[in-house]
Structure 1
Amino acid sequence: NTSTITFNPAPAGYGIKFVRKIDGEEVIVPALVDYVVDLSRGTTLGIQHNGKEVRVQTVEHVMAALYGLQIDNCKVELSESEPPVCDGSSAEYVKVLLKAGLVEQEEQREYFVINEAVRYTNEKNGVDIVALPTDDYRITVMIDYHNPALGSQHTGLFNLEKEFVSEFASARTFCFLSEVEMLYNQGLIKGGNLDSAIVIVDKEFDDKQLKELQEKFNMKDAPVLGETGILNDSALRFKNEPARHKLLDLLGDLSLAGVPLKAQILAARPGHAANIEFAKKIRALYKKTSPLKRFQIDKNSESVLNINDLLKIMPHRYPFLLIDKIIDIDYENKTILGVKNVTMNEQFFTGHFPGKPVMPGVLICEAMAQTGCLLLLQTLDDYTQYHVFFMAIKNAKFRKPVIPGDQLVMDLQMLGKKFNSYMFKGTAYVNSQVVAETEFSAAVIKKEL
């Protein structure tokens, strides 16, 4: 059957959803990693409907097109279970989307900011995928199938807006000639042809075997091994087109995390199974933090504890009280969210630095420590009977300067306790971007009577 795909506009907050009509009824399959049901040769989503599973197969190229064009909301209608294969890349999807035109919606785009390393490793297959903190979205991919017909290849995408359409969207899927018969017998490429994949010649085929390929794929002429290492001497669009296609697949698979990322992705030998496991890790972290919108705090967020409350609890006073309000305390998970409005009136700006005011990193750490101290005091039976003292600090990192006018949001978690000392991990944000992070410990000392 001929497959048709229709991209429809959707309101802000809709996300990406695939829609199939089953017995006249629309069945919606959300484009989320939670709905992945098969990875045998691509990424397949599925959902139960009237006791049966409704599937959408090989969604990665469609998802890559949408993510690469930074489309967050779209209703994608399919006439069949699989989108049109086209040429085995995302190019045709990109072309039709750009022709239709893109509309910028009023709502602010939400990003999930990776603030610490997230890693997936499969030692058996030599797979290693890691996400590292950065202010934008970058992907670097290395592939190596231990097959001399292809060898090792590398590629990198460093600017989604400038590079995706011209450098990656048209990279086609590929397979090895030695795989073709096996894949055909498994029913995984019966709809494919030489126009929708690069076939890398990694073994000799005689005329009889080539004739069989012609018949299986209903080709007008029998394929030839050629001289370039690509079946039929088909021209590559890029010297490292296989690596670029694996990056395209990774882009599409990671979009199933359900939120645009700010991260640097480094991937060695990625594939759909590994990509999806990694996307699950990202989505789990996002779901853990998104209910509180921890990285996008509004300046008018309602206080759990205001400045007058803080003055009753904290021993610090101006100019050394470095918290203005607390906007969330989670006693079960032992986390707290504090806010410091940084103004030009801060005394330390007089000397740090004249003409270029920058908040000292040590005071950012102090502000985080005070926030953690407040969480600790709130867990004690009678906080008025105790002092809390800094004991140690480690792994302090400062990523961006904090200047007058910034709102410093401090996210603290109590990691554990040993005797009378408590361990904390803190991350400070400005405008949803990490500016500092550290780990420290504090001691609780009973006041002398």
Structure 2
Amino acid sequence: MALQHTIGKSISLTGTGLHTGVSTKVSLNPAPENYGIRFVRSDLESKPEIPADIDYVVDLARGTTIGKDGVKVYSIEHVMSCFAGLGVDNCRVEVGAQEIPLMDGSAMPYVELVKKAGLVEQKEEREYLSIDEPLMYVKGDVALGVFPLDHFRVTLEIDYNYPALGAQYTTLFTLDDYVKDFAPARTFCFLSEIEKLREKNLIKGGSLDSALVVQDVDLTSDHVDYMRKLFNYQGPIKAGENGFLNNTTLRFYNEPCRHKALDLIGDLYLLGKPLNAHILAARTGHAANIEMAKRIRSHLKKKAKAVTLDDNGQLNHDDILKILPHRYPFLMVDKVLEVETGKRIVAVKNVSFNEPFFQGHFPGNPIMPGVLQVEAIAQAAGIMGLYKKGAVPDPDAKVLFMGVDNARFRGMVRPGDVLRIEVDMLQFRRGTGKFEGKCYVDNKLVCEAKGLAMFGK
């Protein structure tokens, strides 16, 4: 059994936000079980909290931004990737401005921070998200697929029409490889792109050495002078023989591709819990990552509403409530022991002394009314006709009880008895079914009847 983890002590670092250019202090703080990851704007008087969750993503233009009630925190993907890679479930992240510092463009500064604080095992069990069928997202040349797997794995490909990048591939086989093989991978950008952004007074905190800069423009002396002024940069600016400005040494031969995987890991951790699945991605970015996360959540919500048999081949009370519209005190089926859609069902009703009908039906000698036993047969028939294994019940589907024949009452049903209801479909044609039901107490037949019902919308 895997348990939740938080960090061992409060710890902080200071850096500059890429987009705002504001120097920011980020403090990581221990948090209790089931707290999750929350970002706190410590620079604001009320110290508002924003849960790290896809429901709070408000902008994906040049990073992942979360917000609530007009308060935002920009560029959370690298610190979220760190938490996912190290298995941090609960942490309070206090930010002294509206953006997480870029640092060296990788997740490694945050990994080192968490390592200094230490990981602390907590008492609550860690919950994993799992899918049971493939999910796909395709838009243009961007593709993301999620496939069932008993652990987390990422296979990712990028393909840029530029020699320094070209086609690159990478696979994270397990999160055990994250710190060594993916956390150090830095973000990358094209020189022409960041020049245009800086000219628009964007990426105010960006520098020519805060990322892998792909040199896609000629570096004439006039252009070098222009860049020095544009970025207020005094360091070297020279053409790179490897295709990157200043011949920047890569930490991995496919570092740009690994950084895309790093971002993907961080974005998917906004699901709020670790995911067990194999992610296959091509030319993906933050917008596609979050869209896929939303599809995963939608799938899981749909799965949670679906009705399926448990390990014993039974349906519990909650599943019955998803199928039938009946509610207390008129729900006459507590559990389904076995069911074959449209053919047969075996269900039970626990007859309690607190049943409301006992108050007025022979109070001195309480007996379950025979008509309610017939109703139990009809409700069991309804479940038999509407149940579809592993599917979400159709809220518009109904059962209309049309008739009852040959009803016979063979014995008394008293408080404390367990009514066993067995129903078989005799004939089904054009949405109308004829069925036969019998009720037993301790294998003694107490009621039987035939019925007619219409199944449909």
What is the TM-score of this pair, normalised by structure 2?
Answer: 0.68
Structure 1 384/196 Cα, relative in aligned 2: closer, same or farther at 3 Å?
A: closer
Correspondence list, 1:145-164, <5 A:
145-160=160-175, 162-164=176-178
Percent identity reads: 42
Conservation of the 8 A alpha-carbon contact between 1:128 and 1:269: yes
Residue from 244, 251, 254 that aligns with 1:230: 244
Conservation of the 8 A alpha-carbon contact between 1:377 and 1:383: no
Correspondence list, 1:349-364, <5 A:
none
Tell me, yes or no, if structure 1 residue 29 matches structure 2 residue 17.
Answer: no
Q: Deviations over 1:58-93 (max 9, x none)?
A: 110010001111111100001111112110000000
Residue from 4, 10, 15 that aligns with 2:36: 15
Once the two structures are TM-superposed, the CA of residue 104 in structure 1 deviates from its matched residue by 1.2
Distance 1:243 1:111 in 2: 26
Correspondence list, 1:397-412, <5 A:
411=390
Structure 1 27/196 Cα, relative in aligned 2: closer, same or farther at 3 Å?
A: same
Once the two structures are TM-superposed, the CA of residue 142 in structure 1 deviates from its matched residue by 0.7
Distance 1:98 1:334 in 2: 52
**Which residue is 1:54 aligned to?**
71
Correspondence list, 1:185-204, <5 A:
185-204=199-218
Amino acid in the other structure paired with 2:179: V
**Which residue is 2:443 aligned to?**
none
Amino acid in the other structure paired with 1:446: K
Once the two structures are TM-superposed, the CA of residue 118 in structure 1 deviates from its matched residue by 1.6
Correspondence list, 1:314-325, <5 A:
323=313
Superposition CA RMSD, Å: 3.9
Correspondence list, 1:327-406, <5 A:
327-329=317-319, 331-332=321-322, 369=340, 374=345, 382=378
Structure 1 388/58 Cα, relative in aligned 2: closer, same or farther at 3 Å?
A: closer
**Which residue is 1:247 aligned to?**
261
Amino acid in the other structure paired with 1:232: N
Conservation of the 8 A alpha-carbon contact between 1:174 and 1:199: yes
**Which residue is 1:40 aligned to?**
61
**Which residue is 2:365 aligned to?**
none
Distance 2:84 2:377 in 1: 50
**Which residue is 1:179 aligned to?**
193
Once the two structures are TM-superposed, the CA of residue 267 in structure 1 deviates from its matched residue by 0.7
**Which residue is 1:403 aligned to?**
none
Tell me, yes or no, if structure 1 residue 112 matches structure 2 residue 129.
Answer: yes
Distance 1:193 1:386 in 2: 68
Distance 2:111 2:87 in 1: 11
Amino acid in the other structure paired with 1:152: A
Q: Deviations over 1:316-360 (max 9, x none)?
A: xxxxxx6356252255568999999xxxxxxxxxxxxxxxxxxxx
Distance 1:140 1:443 in 2: 52
Gaps of 5+ in 2: 1-21, 326-332, 350-374, 400-425, 437-449, 451-457
Amino acid in the other structure paired with 2:318: D
Tell me, yes or no, if structure 1 residue 138 matches structure 2 residue 153.
Answer: yes
Correspondence list, 1:67-146, <5 A:
67-123=84-140, 126-146=141-161
Once the two structures are TM-superposed, the CA of residue 203 in structure 1 deviates from its matched residue by 2.6
Once the two structures are TM-superposed, the CA of residue 285 in structure 1 deviates from its matched residue by 3.1
Distance 1:60 1:372 in 2: 52
Once the two structures are TM-superposed, the CA of residue 187 in structure 1 deviates from its matched residue by 3.6
Secondary structure class of the residue paired with 1:76: strand
Once the two structures are TM-superposed, the CA of residue 287 in structure 1 deviates from its matched residue by 4.2
Structure 1 window deviating more from structure 2 (280-289 vs 9-18): it is: 280-289
Conservation of the 8 A alpha-carbon contact between 2:322 and 2:393: no
Structure 1 window deviating more from structure 2 (203-212 vs 229-238): it is: 203-212
Secondary structure class of the residue paired with 1:18: strand
Structure 1 224/19 Cα, relative in aligned 2: closer, same or farther at 3 Å?
A: same
Secondary structure class of the residue paired with 2:110: helix
Residue from 391, 411, 434 that aligns with 1:446: 434
Structure 1 290/217 Cα, relative in aligned 2: closer, same or farther at 3 Å?
A: farther
Tell me, yes or no, if structure 1 residue 4 matches structure 2 residue 25.
Answer: yes
Secondary structure class of the residue paired with 2:80: helix
Distance 1:413 1:244 in 2: 39
Distance 2:339 2:242 in 1: 60
Q: Deviations over 1:130-168 (max 9, x none)?
A: 1111111111111113334411111111110x2000000
Amino acid in the other structure paired with 1:122: K
Tell me, yes or no, if structure 1 residue 215 matches structure 2 residue 229.
Answer: yes
Conservation of the 8 A alpha-carbon contact between 2:128 and 2:273: yes
**Which residue is 2:291 aligned to?**
277
Conservation of the 8 A alpha-carbon contact between 2:345 and 2:380: no
Structure 1 373/105 Cα, relative in aligned 2: closer, same or farther at 3 Å?
A: farther
Conservation of the 8 A alpha-carbon contact between 2:342 and 2:384: no
Structure 1 323/114 Cα, relative in aligned 2: closer, same or farther at 3 Å?
A: closer
Structure 1 100/339 Cα, relative in aligned 2: closer, same or farther at 3 Å?
A: farther
Conservation of the 8 A alpha-carbon contact between 1:334 and 1:413: no
Secondary structure class of the residue paired with 1:235: coil
Distance 2:101 2:381 in 1: 70
Tell me, yes or no, if structure 1 residue 326 matches structure 2 residue 340.
Answer: no
Secondary structure class of the residue paired with 2:81: helix
Residue from 46, 58, 65 that aligns with 2:82: 65
Once the two structures are TM-superposed, the CA of residue 273 in structure 1 deviates from its matched residue by 1.1
Larger Rg: 2
Structure 1 371/197 Cα, relative in aligned 2: closer, same or farther at 3 Å?
A: farther
Conservation of the 8 A alpha-carbon contact between 2:142 and 2:284: yes
Secondary structure class of the residue paired with 2:116: helix
Distance 2:67 2:95 in 1: 13
Gaps of 5+ in 1: 300-321, 341-366, 394-409, 421-441
